[in-house]
Amino acid sequence: MARLLEKLIPHPFLSVLLIIVWCLLTNAVHLANVLLAVFLGIVIPLITAPYWRDRPRPLNVIKLVGYIFIAIWDIMVSNLVVTWLILTRPSDKLRSHWLVIPLDIKRPETIAILAGTITLTPGTVSADLSDDGSYLLVHAIDSADPRADAQEIKDRYERRLKEIFE
């Protein structure tokens, strides 16, 4: 029974996500909609299974939700910081710097999420990866100490992502 279930739903997280997205897309929770959502949530992972590069690993969902809340909080705080910078600081007084962040995370998906979080936080934009994927290049609009800021990004985001995905 358990093996049959694993064959039928090889990627439970994707199935649940598809069901939620379908319900949001149709914008109404009727029985017919939910049934169709469940159907899609089962069929789409089965059809796309051959294209996965490796088997999905179990995610730490609680830590993932925590990470999302931390990211949203940081986005709001740095929005206010950058607003203050834009309104009060002349352009030539901004100490904009490149930050070079050595990466401990290896999986491309994790690096993509880290780079996305950094870009979504106003004040920092992730610009590039080194050719072997071991360094991330970030541009910061105003940084008093580039080394400390790079270390803070590592401590705050990368450590958590490493716990969730790797």
Residue 45 burial (10 A CB sphere; 0-12, 13-18, 19+): buried
Nearer to another protein by Cβ, of 54 and 132: the residue is 132
Give the dihedral sign, CA 69/73/78/79.
positive
Nearer to another protein by Cβ, of 97 and 160: the residue is 97
Q: Which of 61, 134, 163, 166 binds another protein (CB under 8 A)?
A: 134
Q: Which of 63, 107, 139, 162 binds another protein (CB under 8 A)?
A: 139
Q: Does residue number 115 form part of the binding site for another protein (CB under 8 A)?
A: yes
Tokens for 23, please give them.
């319900």
Nearer to another protein by Cβ, of 128 and 166: the residue is 128
Closest by Cα among 108, 95, 160, 162 to 136: 108
Give the binding range for another protein (CB under 8 A) out of 30-38, 43-51, 74-82, 152-160. Answer: 74-82
Q: How far is CA 164 from CA 98, 132, 140, in A?
A: 27, 23, 26
Q: Which of 116, 148, 159, 166 binds another protein (CB under 8 A)?
A: 116
